[in-house]
Every structure is written in structure tokens, then in C-alpha cells.
């Protein structure tokens, strides 16, 4: 098995003259569930976007296993990301939302044209394979009965599951989630929290989860990296952060009821 640990080394990000991330150093173990916890504006989403490759680093680098992925485009990184807004294609069915990423990577432009499947047995075989894979991801997420619906016909929780499913179909090595539960009500948050932890257990993928909710971080994570002002203040197991916060700011933030 390939090593999917992550090393973030001296990572900095500046937008014009504003320094948003200040020399971040962090090692994330292969298969770990690590949470970035911190108040709004501390740089959590920016750090995820750098990991996913949506933004270039100002300096420093990111290794996955032994490979420096910092110069690579998002597609070449084998990283999937679930956004706070879910970012589903509104005009497409759930099924289409989930098949698109696989079609883009396995079929050429010509093979994706309508009618290509009629002409080519190879295209039919690939499409059949993709359909089977999408259904196998949809089932444990409880999406089977929803595959023909449009996003507008789904509840918030269902949309969130589709966003997770769409990211999972590519079998990423690393899974990034940016406040995926923040638009949901408390009861659903609790339920989906458990589903995400379960997904992590089943897949063994390296998860980096972002939240500003300390209860969520405490309940879900192997380790928590507490961020403030573009820096990681402390990174440790939930119990240790709770018992022995290194900084007053960590104690304040973690002690606060969210
Ligand atoms: P968080 O996700 O922790 O709320 P963000 O990473 O979204 O924080 O933002 C961290 C800081 O970086 C904020 O002060 C924000 O205004 C700034 N920032 C984020 N993106 C940009 C950008 N594209 N241009 C300028 N400043 C940005
Ligand atoms: Mg954010």
C-alpha cells in the first residue's frame, strides 16, 4: 500500500500584503482523522485550498508520502474535497453529479459525446463500470433511491451525502472536508457526524476535516490542530488539548461552548 501521510513544510500564503498562513508545519499520519479547528478567518479554508491545489503556495511545500505535490494541479494530487456549500451541479441528477468525475477521468472528449456509447462497445463497457461503481458508493450513503433526483429536490442532509459520494467515487487518497455540516440543523449534524466517522473507519483514507465547532472536533478526531491568526497553536489528541491547552487562546477557544 502506498503511503498517504502528509507533510506540510514551512507553508506560507500571502494575498498581496496580507499574510494569511504563517509558516505552517504539520505531519498527518496515513489514515489519520485530523481536524483543523479555529475561529472564522484564521485560515482553515485557505490551508485546505492549498492542499487541494486550488491556490498556489507563496512558499514551502506539501508532501504526500515522499512526493512533493505542491507543483501539481488538483487533478494529479489524488485529493478530494467537500465544500461547505456542497457545490453540486443544479441541473444534473444525483447520478450524473456522481458519474461526471469518473467520466471526465476515464472517457476522452470524443467518447463523452452523446451517442458515443451507441457506436462503441468499449464506451458502453466503461459507462457500465462507472454506473456500477457509482451505485456501490451510493448504497452505504443511503443515496440509492435518490439517484434520479435533482439537487433542488433533496434535503440539506441528502445534498451533503451526495457531495460526499461525488468526492468518494474517485477513491481519493486524501479527503478534505470544509465545514460540511455547518448548514444543517443540530440533530442532522449529530447523525452525519457519526456517518463521516464511520466512512473514515470503513475506507481508512487520510481525512482532514475543518470546523469551528469544538464539540464536533472533540467527538470526531484522532488529533486536532488548533489554528489562530494563520498559525497552528497546538496539535494533539482531543483529550490532551482539553486537559493541557498550550496557549491561553487555545484554552479559551476550546473551553468555550460553541
Ligand atoms: P477560515 O476558513 O478559517 O474562516 P479563510 O482561510 O477563509 O479562513 O480566510 C483567512 C483569511 O484570509 C481571512 O482574513 C480572509 O479574508 C483572507 N482571504 C481568504 N481568501 C482570500 C483572497 N482570495 N484574497 C484575499 N484575502 C483572502
Ligand atoms: Mg472557511
Query: Cα separation of 107 and 62, whole Å?
Result: 30
Per-residue pLDDT, 48 = 97
Q: What ipTM does the predicted assembly reach?
A: 0.98
What ligand 1 atom has the least distance to the C-alpha of 36? 3
Query: Is the confidence at residue 216, as pLDDT, over 90?
Result: yes
Sheet containing strand 174-178, strands side by side: 79-82, 174-178, 206-211, 33-37, 223-228, 231-236
Could you tell me the distance, in angstroms and rounded to a whole number, from the CA of residue 176 to the centre of ligand 1? 17
Pocket of ligand 1 (CB under 6 A): 15, 18, 20, 38, 40-46
Mean pLDDT across 13-18: 94
Which residue has the least CA distance to atom 1 on ligand 1?
A: 41
Per residue in 23-61, pLDDT (tens digit) is 999 999 999 999 999 999 999 999 999 999 999 999 999
Q: Give the tens place of pLDDT for each residue, 49-59.
A: 999 999 999 99
SS3 215: helix
pTM of structure: 0.90
Amino acid at each position: 500500500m502506498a503511503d498517504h501521510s502528509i507533510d506540510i513544510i514551512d507553508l506560507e500564503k500571502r494575498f498581496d500584503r496580507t499574510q494569511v498562513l504563517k509558516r505552517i508545519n504539520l505531519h498527518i499520519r496515513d489514515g489519520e482523522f485530523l481536524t483543523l479547528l479555529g475561529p472564522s478567518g484564521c485560515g482553515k479554508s485557505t490551508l485546505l485550498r492549498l492542499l487541494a491545489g486550488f491556490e498556489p503556495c507563496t512558499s514551502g511545500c506539501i508532501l504526500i508520502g515522499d512526493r512533493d505535490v505542491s507543483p501539481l494541479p488538483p487533478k494529479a494530487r489524488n485529493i478530494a474535497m467537500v465544500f461547505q456549500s456542497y457545490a453540486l451541479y443544479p441541473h444534473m441528477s444525483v447520478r450524473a453529479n456522481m458519474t461526471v468525475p469518473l467520466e471526465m477521468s476515464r472517457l476522452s472528449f470524443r467518447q463523452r459525446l452523446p451517442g458515443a456509447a451507441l457506436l462503441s462497445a468499449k464506451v458502453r463497457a466503461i459507462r457500465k463500470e462507472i454506473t456500477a461503481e457509482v451505485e456501490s458508493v451510493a448504497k452505504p450513503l443511503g443515496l440509492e433511491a435518490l439517484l434520479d433526483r435533482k439537487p433542488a429536490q433533496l434535503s440539506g442532509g441528502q445534498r451533503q451525502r451526495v457531495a460526499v459520494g461525488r468526492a468518494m467515487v474517485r477513491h481519493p487518497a486524501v479527503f478534505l472536508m470544509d465545514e460540511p455540516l455547518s448548514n444543517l440543523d443540530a440533530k442532522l449534524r449529530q447523525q452525519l457526524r457519526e456517518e463521516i466517522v464511520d466512512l473514515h473507519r470503513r475506507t481508512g483514507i487520510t481525512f482532514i476535516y475543518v470546523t469551528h465547532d469544538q464539540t464536533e472536533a472533540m467527538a470526531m478526531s484522532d488529533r486536532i490542530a488548533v489554528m489562530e491568526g494563520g498559525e497552528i497553536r497546538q496539535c494533539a489528541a482531543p483529550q490532551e488539548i482539553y486537559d493541557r491547552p498550550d496557549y491561553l487562546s487555545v484554552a479559551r477557544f476550546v473551553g468555550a461552548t460553541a
